[in-house]
Structure 1
Amino acid sequence: MFRKVTPGDKALSFHFEGGVCSAEPGDTVALALLVAGIDSCRDSVVSGQPRGPYCLMGACFECLVVIDGVQNLQGCQVQVREGMVVTRQRGGRHALGDTLS
């Protein structure tokens, strides 16, 4: 399980799948989800199996999420903002923006 070594006193809150998570300023979405105990943030386009953050540096694309309605964002590359809404990436992405099942 991931946890902060030195937790700070300023917390941000964001929404994930209908719940509220907290993060510290500067935390990425992927890190905040892992710290909250959420290890799956998308489903595989091929098999439908749950996938989660792996490299945490933008190389693997396993941490794709939908943030404030924008699909295909790498959670490890986006810093948490107060009140943002994050949902799991389900399926692939159409050229017009809606997801495939």
Structure 2
Amino acid sequence: MKLREIAHSRTGDKGNISNVSLIVFNEEDYRLIEEKVTTKVVKEWFKDIVHGEVKRYELPKLGALNFVMDKALGGGVTRSLALDKHGKSLSAALLEMEI
């Protein structure tokens, strides 16, 4: 299944760092994403975009995982030539991941 079938996502960015949260619709799906969506998997998924470290923060009471991806935005919003490599496009890309 694709992540979008069991979760939604929110994003943010600051400089060259992208922050992507993955939030399950139903609490019982949290353990599945906790197991399947690791930092290694996310780093591989965004291998062409993320050139730095990926950190994962677990928020089980919210049913969420938060990924902080360093060197992920082509130098940052004001330096990148991408129209929207920031924000919503990265969350949408993560939700396309199959688990």
Q: Which of 1 and 2 has higher RCO (CA within 8 Å, sep 6+)? A: 2
Q: Same fold (TM over 0.5)?
A: no
TM-score, structure 1 as length reference: 0.26
TM-score, structure 2 as length reference: 0.27
> Which structure has greater helix proportion?
2
